[in-house]
Amino acid sequence: MTLLLSPGLAQAGIALLEILQRRSLTAQEVLTGLPKVGAMPASAVLSLAEALGWLDITDTGLLQASAAGLNVQGAGGYELALRCILINYVEAHKPDWLQNATYGRSRVLSFCPVGVRQVFVEAGLAGPPTGDLVDFWDRLAGIARGLQKDHLIAIGREGERLTLAYEEARTGSIPYWAAIDSNQDGYDVLSIRSAENRALLSIEVKASRSGKDGALHLTRHEWEIAIERTAHVFHLWDLRVAPPQLAAVSMGAMLKHIPTDAGAGGWEVVKVPFAAFADLFGPTGH
């Protein structure tokens, strides 16, 4: 269920924590005895507090503030409490607009819902860049980068699983999932050249949910490992189509897109569009 944060709901959440500090109540007593907390229905406020991890339940069923709830209560003022609430919210809810935090606060304020934007404003986070304000936005960007990293890892694993299944069907042998044991080997899967030729074939897997509009990022380490291998191939998976399409890219085909060092400069990562290999994509690869 989507949690629609707003200043009114945030204020009511703070009020609920204050009430529980003064009175011991069960969840049912909150719902029946407090039809509203502030201007908000008690059910909505209780849902907020539960979703953001503000409440613990004692052995006798009474509600009490958790460590997260106590942080909100002890924040030191309304603006700071709202900042705690925003951090709780993005960590628990992982809203789609959070990804914009890596590009700066103006992107967040442009793409987040109106109610959330007003919370940012009332939390003093839309004003001049003071030290505390900058620290908050840096923290928000850090959370966003963590989520993006998790997202990219999930996409990578999906591509690796597809390669494992494809290679087993192609060779009749179960390949070794190298990336599970180490991400330093420079390849993700170790297979064999064919059912008849059991010489090893290393495979670097790249996947994109943007399809052929996406791109792969190849590190220098991955490339240097590739050129040292006797047999190496790149599996590019287009996950936007169903079933996913594979392009098996040879070393020679990839070499055309690898930069060279010049002067005192040296390359570390190269971005290559999937579209560069558009003619190689097919339901089962070529």
Domain CATH number, residue 200: 3.40.1350
Predicted pLDDT of residue 174: 95
Predicted pLDDT of residue 185: 79
Threshold 0.75, pTM exceeds: no
Q: Mean pLDDT across the stretch 68-74?
A: 92
Residue at which a domain ends, from 76, 93, 110: 93
Lowest mean pLDDT among 109-123, 136-150, 199-213, 226-240: 136-150
Q: What is the pLDDT of residues 118-158, one digit of tens each?
A: 999 999 999 888 888 999 999 999 898 887 787 788 889 99
Domain range for 41 is: 7-93
In this structure, is residue 149 part of a structural domain? no
In this structure, is residue 165 part of a structural domain? no
Predicted pLDDT of residue 81: 95
Q: Mean pLDDT across the stretch 54-65?
A: 93
In this structure, is residue 139 part of a structural domain? no
Predicted pLDDT of residue 2: 63
In this structure, is residue 110 part of a structural domain? no
Strand partners of residue 55: 65
What average pLDDT is seen over the chain?
91
In this structure, is residue 49 part of a structural domain? yes
Number of domains in the chain: 2
Distance CA 77, CA 56 (A): 23
Residue at which a domain ends, from 93, 128, 158: 93
Distance CA 276, CA 274 (A): 5
Residue at which a domain ends, from 93, 113, 145: 93
Q: What is the pLDDT of residues 76-120, one digit of tens each?
A: 999 999 999 999 999 988 898 998 998 888 999 999 999 999 999
Residue 77 belongs to domain with CATH number: 1.10.10
In this structure, is residue 161 part of a structural domain? no
Predicted pLDDT of residue 284: 67
